[in-house]
Amino acid sequence: MNCPRKATILLRGLCTRFAQHSQRPPTQPTTLCFVPLKTTTSRLHRAFTTTTIFRLPHQHHHHHQQQQQQPADDPNFQSILDAPPRIVRAGRRRHGPGLLLLALIPLTAFALGTWQVQRLGWKSNLIAKFEDRLVRDPLPLPPTIDPSAIHDFDYRRVRATGHFRHDQEMLIGPRMRDGKDGYMVVTPLERRGGATILVNRGWIDKAHRSQASRPDSLPRGEVTVEGLLREPWKKNMFTPVNRPDKGEFYFPDVNEMAALTGSQAVWVEVTM
């Protein structure tokens, strides 16, 4: 057999073998075929002495088709619209302090609003009561006054006649007025046929603390005073304690001053 014919037979065998490899399933691994061919002629030598490589197809196309498959094509696929409802139980939540504080805000606002309304009503009634008492004519003080009844006559205009006991005068202070230091002058009024009462005669400057510097403010003989009947004052926690032995009074303690002067615990503030 001559060389060209031999080469032709070998070429047909290679083609047949390549066709068989192409018809195999894609799961077969890649196979390399090396076929050395030699001919006596230079043309066949150049054509068949090179290495021929055949690569089988891979599985990428098969996986790509699987990835493109839609979920609805799966027989086991179930839509959320067709799925039966599920009951989910929420766990018990603990309320923190922030929620409690938030709940206290409206309660506090309601309590403050109620208190303000009540206080407004109390002030309105108090003002109306004082206005009614201030416009009435002065009430003559009886010879003896019940201290427990003074509350019902607080800010009531009264009138009293008697003699001032300047020797028992008491100065309460220091008290500021118009930016100046001074004192509140309290003098017992000895009434004829009645009990002695305490009269707040007003304010004097610190420079007139001595009676000698203000002789015109010391009326002699019988006088009639008009003023407001007031309840006993209440001591402030920041106010010092009175020292009557030294003649120092920081607030009007009506009961204490009445005991020192032999007067009844009745306080009248002069208005004229």
65-74, 189-198, 227-236 — which one is most confidently predicted on average? 189-198
Residue-wise pLDDT tens digits, 25-44: 544 444 444 444 444 445 54
Residue 35: what pLDDT?
Answer: 45
Q: Are 172 and 249 in contact (CB under 8 A)?
A: yes
Contacts 24+ apart (CB under 8 A), 152-155: 153/229, 154/229, 154/230, 154/231, 155/129, 155/130, 155/228, 155/229, 155/230
Are residues 144 and 266 located together in one domain of the fold? yes
Q: Which residue has the tokens 């000895």?
A: 190
Q: Are 175 and 184 in contact (CB under 8 A)?
A: yes
Q: Is residue 208 one of the residues assigned to a domain?
A: yes
Q: Are 145 and 232 in contact (CB under 8 A)?
A: no
The CATH number given to whatever domain includes residue 194 is 2.40.50
232-242 mean pLDDT? 86
* Number of folded domains that form the chain: 2
**Token pair recorded at residue 74:** 């799966």
Are residues 171 and 262 located together in one domain of the fold? yes
Are residues 168 and 262 located together in one domain of the fold? yes
Domain housing 235: 140-270
When the pLDDT of each residue in the chain is averaged and rounded to a whole number, the result is 78
Q: Is residue 80 one of the residues assigned to a domain?
A: no
Residue 162: what pLDDT?
Answer: 96
Are residues 67 and 154 located together in one domain of the fold? no
Are residues 64 and 167 located together in one domain of the fold? no
Q: Is residue 46 one of the residues assigned to a domain?
A: yes
Residue-wise pLDDT tens digits, 166-215: 999 999 998 999 999 999 999 999 998 889 999 999 999 999 999 999 99
Work out the burial of residue 169: count CB atoms within 10 Å of its CB; fewer than 13 is exposed, 13-18 middle, 19 or more buried: middle
Q: Final residue of a domain: which of 48, 71, 94?
A: 71
Q: Is residue 81 one of the residues assigned to a domain?
A: no
Residue 272: what pLDDT?
Answer: 60
Q: Final residue of a domain: which of 71, 87, 115?
A: 71
60-69, 80-89, 258-267 — which one is most confidently predicted on average? 258-267
Are residues 174 and 64 located together in one domain of the fold? no
Q: Final residue of a domain: which of 40, 71, 102?
A: 71
Q: Is residue 106 one of the residues assigned to a domain?
A: no
Q: Is residue 128 one of the residues assigned to a domain?
A: no
Are residues 65 and 146 located together in one domain of the fold? no
- Is the pLDDT score of 67 beyond 60? no
Q: Is residue 112 one of the residues assigned to a domain?
A: no
Q: Are 224 and 161 in contact (CB under 8 A)?
A: yes
Q: Is residue 223 one of the residues assigned to a domain?
A: yes
